[in-house]
Structure 1
Amino acid sequence: MSRSATFDRQMLETAFSEIDAVHRSLPEATLSTLAAEVVTRVANNLRFAVQPDMVPCLDEIDMLCNALLSDDPHAATAFIENVQTKGSSYETLCLLYLTVAARRLGEWWDNDDVSFYRVTVAAGRIYAILRILRMERPIGVPDMQRAAAFASVPGENHTLGITIASDLARERGWDIDLFVGLTHDALVETLEQRQPALIGLSASGRRSMPALTRLIVALRISNPNARILVCGQIAAANLALVGLTGADAAAHDFQGAIGHMERLLDLPTGRLI
């Protein structure tokens, strides 16, 4: 619990701008789904025993919520910086302050104390903070070699491609767990239990974008250490998947995917004999 939570202020504010741009481009139904995903999963993400003196007071949480809801994105940045000056660890910041704030926002949303629009803004900023803290957090190279989980995005009917890709990867020495046909919640729960170092997600086209984005949002919260690779025809659709969804890489063909897999796990390239 001793890792310090550090981030680059400019990087965080850039992430806020990106999230706001995405926010303006998505339909209301998709925004609502993504906001609910962030708020619900972060609110239930406290997984360590909390010492009484670590628990932020209600006034602090209300201040954080109001900063996240503010028209001024600098307000949330300033609050996070202030918490960090007190020596808060990554776990304290991500799994305590943001967890309790997400619960509070959920209550305000349920009670209609804040508008739908403002909650989606706040949820996007929570997601941006988690993404940036994850990038700044030291993450060691996984112990396992050439192991990954492949999954089709929920709702996908075309799973032959990812099945073939799994077989081809196994021929190259990869240990692949393949998941197809699972619902969103079942897939997230399964991957959360297994905690693979690398997750490959297959989607066939633009129509899968809402389900793909929702899935990556959930996995960024449930599997914060995982590298996420998007594969399939959607990767050839010029949708800026890496920036838009938070994926680490995207590839539309098998050779490109294998190259990204080896790079993301910092492995030597080339086929295993």
Structure 2
Amino acid sequence: MAGWTINRLAKRQQAPRAMAAASRGAAKGEVLFQADPLTLAELLAIKSAELSAKLAPLGDDERPRLTAPHLVSSNTSQDMQLSRIVELEIIPRLMLMHSTQPLQDRPPLPPLALTTEHVHTLARLAAEGDADSASSYVRALLDAGASQEQVFLDLLAPCARWMGELWEDDRYDFSQVTIGLWRLQRVLHEQGSRFNQVARPDADSHRALLAAVPGAQHTFGVVMAAEFFSRAGWDVECEPKATWADLQTRLTGNWFDMFGLSIATGDSIPHVASAILDMREASANRDVFVMVGGPMAAQLPDLATLCGADAMASEACSAVEAANCGVGARVKRA
């Protein structure tokens, strides 16, 4: 095969002299025959020879003398032939080859374990960095293999608690914590919309009203809980800055299956217990399921009993599970 190609190429290299002779024959009235178009291998070989000639110029006495240059295959015609072969033969074959081979998904990244160092880094970026530092850091962790559930449970929630501890220890002032928590809330909304995994409530979904004790300075936990309830298919109204009167009006004028309240300080518990009694009496759903949570839920195991609530939860996931069980049991009983 190699010898056959070389022989064909040798014949092609004699084409200029043959064409020159043909031109002389044409002047005498002889019939001219057009040479076959060059093959791809021949074109490539000619291009390679031309490149070698450019790299090692010949002397004046060594330059070939071409006669009848208008009949000799020029570089332009060779380029056109090569381009046409690529367009009509090579590209369709490549497309056909790839179309018969199904695309394979990239293997998933190994899970990334989020540590205390990640939490502290995010807190520092949120409180001290620029407006996009926290969001960029979280996106980088997701791209490195962290799951969204990890980001919510093992990063954002612990980060909010850590910033609260820094405030209590006077290592961060009120403005730094406020800015930091606002940026965490921004990350929470950004990731929720990015993955678009919130289940749409249907006719049989439950409705929840989530709020914080009026006057609470930081309400990130309530927003976090609202995100988890929405993702679980609940129809959620989140009112982190509402007053007691606002909450009572909402419960009176609308049907809610669950009312959740985040409690941040222990000195508010007596007032919360009294307010929950008022909310039950004013609620359009007289059998509304009442839950309490927030920072005090992690410190007081009997918080629900102290407040007169039906259940308590210290984390968003457990809050959703407890609400599903509690509301589901009441629906069956009804």
> TM-score normalized by structure 1?
0.43
**TM score, norm. by length of structure 2:** 0.35
Q: Which has the larger radius of gyration?
A: 2
Tell which has more relative contact order, 1 or 2 (C-alpha 8 A, sep 6+). Answer: 1
